[in-house]
């Protein structure tokens, strides 16, 4: 537990054991175009309809894209949410005494964020993890939590999102980055749970696998629930943990338990991948006081997915495109381009030589071409809306029989943002913003459980 949080600070009105009926005063870091914000607002609507309560109020948001003159994500966030967004480098904000004083006055007790994933992503062959320019931004979240702790007003609840490969980063020591993140959180007094969720397994219109991390401070009753769970961690992780209640799972392997140490340096020294060179972290787990319990799980969604997407049947790519009106002619694939599309989508086995001289065969299987309309969309990435043939871009058969790519509005629907949410920007800009977005529907589901 944190040694920095003394007895006098524990008497603060902001740090009493969390009352489930309280309003979560939320600060957003790496807010993007507002996926977390919209998920929380949707949770507000759902909870208010049943109890009359409004459990979430976003009081502060930060979004900044380094090395970009035009800050499109911050622009969309501000225009669509109606809230002020602090469009500054977060590391500058953390040095700004006036802004930190303003945060004191706002008294946030919850922090959410989809911190940059590029340095953990499987799509990035050179991903450097925590050591990367983007990956190192994790420490900005840590610094903000530390600042709130030093102010005597600790953040009670932390909800974060990142790619599933975060659990196996970096390439050279799979799992080490996550061990450091867990150790850094527990040094600040947090118990941490995580679960990988594939949204498509629960009826959402996109098969998007992401790691969701929920941390609770030692001043809360939720922390004590995590401590109590350590004696029955297997059943708790698949039945009663908040993330498992939001997205039901069943065990799909044995539970393992190991220590990550009391701080970041200890984690670096103690953590080792498995004997087969894999991460020790399974797709669900609990970390309390430097000790980890982790287990592989698989989705256990009901046949009727109404509680997730508002209708009994899962949403599909066909549902995404069904409401589309006029499709720009530029989205249709010319017959002259068809052979190239078939090539990049097809199976291949290509001899290659590494820089060391090692010879090997690069192989990949065929992808559906065109994409099936009776299933959820594949994971949408930042380059989805380009015009050239690409293995990762969706291609569907239009109602007139022609093949075409998706429109920007269809990407919005696949994420469950309002139609036209990113309108006014180029397709390339919209694709970048949406490919980096958090799915509001998934956040809504988690937020409803947290507010319970």
DSSP 240: I
* pLDDT score, position 5: 47
Whether the predicted model's global pTM rises above the 0.85 cut: yes
* pLDDT score, position 130: 57
Residue spans per domain, the chain: 22-303+439-450, 306-435
Fold of 22-303+439-450: Rossmann fold (3.40.50)
* pLDDT score, position 179: 95
Strands 209-217 and 157-163: antiparallel
- Residue 392's nearest CA partner among 403, 384, 400 is 384
Which residues contact residue 318 at a Cβ distance below 8 angstroms, ignoring those fewer than 6 apart? Answer: 373, 374
Q: Is 402 exposed, middle or buried (0-12, 13-18, 19+ CB in 10 A)?
A: middle
* pLDDT score, position 338: 96
Residue positions counted in the chain: 452
At the top level of CATH, the class of 306-435 is alpha beta
Mean pLDDT, the chain cut into blocks of 10 residues (452 residues total): 45 42 91 97 97 97 91 97 96 96 97 70 46 67 96 97 93 92 95 98 97 97 97 96 98 96 90 96 97 97 93 97 92 96 94 87 92 97 94 96 97 96 97 97 98 92
The answer, yes or no, to whether the previous bond of 170 is cis (omega within 30 of 0) is yes
* pLDDT score, position 131: 55
């Amino acid at each position: 537990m944190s040694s920095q949080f003394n007895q006098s600070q524990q008497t603060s009105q902001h740090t009493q054991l969390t009352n489930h009926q309280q309003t979560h005063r939320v600060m957003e870091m790496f807010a993007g175009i507002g996926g977390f914000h919209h998920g929380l607002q949707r949770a507000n609507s759902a909870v208010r309809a049943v109890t009359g309560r409004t459990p979430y109020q976003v009081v502060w948001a930060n979004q900044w894209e380094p090395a970009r003159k035009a800050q499109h994500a911050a622009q969309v966030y501000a225009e669509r949410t109606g809230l002020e967004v602090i469009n500054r480098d977060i590391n500058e904000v953390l040095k700004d005494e006036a802004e930190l004083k303003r945060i004191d006055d706002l008294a946030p007790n919850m922090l959410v964020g989809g911190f940059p994933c590029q340095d953990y992503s499987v799509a990035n062959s050179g991903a450097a993890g925590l050591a990367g320019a983007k990956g190192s931004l994790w420490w900005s979240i840590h610094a903000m939590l530390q600042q709130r702790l030093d102010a005597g007003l600790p953040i009670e609840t932390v909800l974060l999102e990142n790619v599933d490969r975060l659990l196996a980063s970096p390439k050279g020591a799979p799992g080490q980055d996550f061990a450091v993140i867990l150790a850094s959180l527990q040094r600040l007094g947090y118990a941490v749970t995580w679960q990988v969720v594939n949204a498509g397994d629960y009826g959402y219109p996109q098969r998007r696998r992401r790691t969701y991390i929920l941390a609770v401070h030692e001043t809360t009753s939720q922390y004590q629930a995590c401590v109590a769970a350590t004696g029955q961690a297997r059943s708790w992780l698949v039945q009663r943990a908040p993330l498992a209640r939001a997205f039901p799972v069943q065990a799909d392997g044995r539970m393992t338990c190991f220590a990550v140490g009391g701080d970041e340096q200890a984690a670096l020294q103690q953590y080792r991948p498995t004997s087969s060179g894999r991460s020790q972290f399974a797709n669900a787990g609990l970390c309390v006081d430097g000790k980890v319990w982790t287990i592989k799980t698989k989705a256990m969604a009901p046949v009727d997915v109404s509680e997730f997407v508002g209708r009994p049947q899962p949403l599909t790519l066909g549902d995404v495109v069904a409401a589309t009106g006029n499709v720009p002619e530029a989205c249709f694939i010319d017959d002259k381009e068809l052979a190239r599309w078939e090539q990049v989508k097809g199976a291949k086995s290509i001899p290659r030589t590494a820089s060391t001289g090692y010879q090997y065969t690069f192989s990949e299987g065929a992808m559906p071409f065109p994409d099936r309309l009776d299933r959820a969309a594949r994971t949408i990435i930042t380059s989805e809306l380009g015009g050239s043939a690409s293995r990762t871009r969706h291609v569907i058969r239009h109602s007139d029989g022609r093949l075409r790519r998706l429109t920007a509005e269809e990407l919005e629907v696949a994420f469950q943002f309002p139609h036209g949410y990113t309108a006014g920007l180029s397709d390339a800009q919209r694709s970048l913003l949406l490919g980096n977005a958090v799915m509001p529907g998934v956040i809504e589901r988690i937020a409803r459980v947290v507010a319970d």
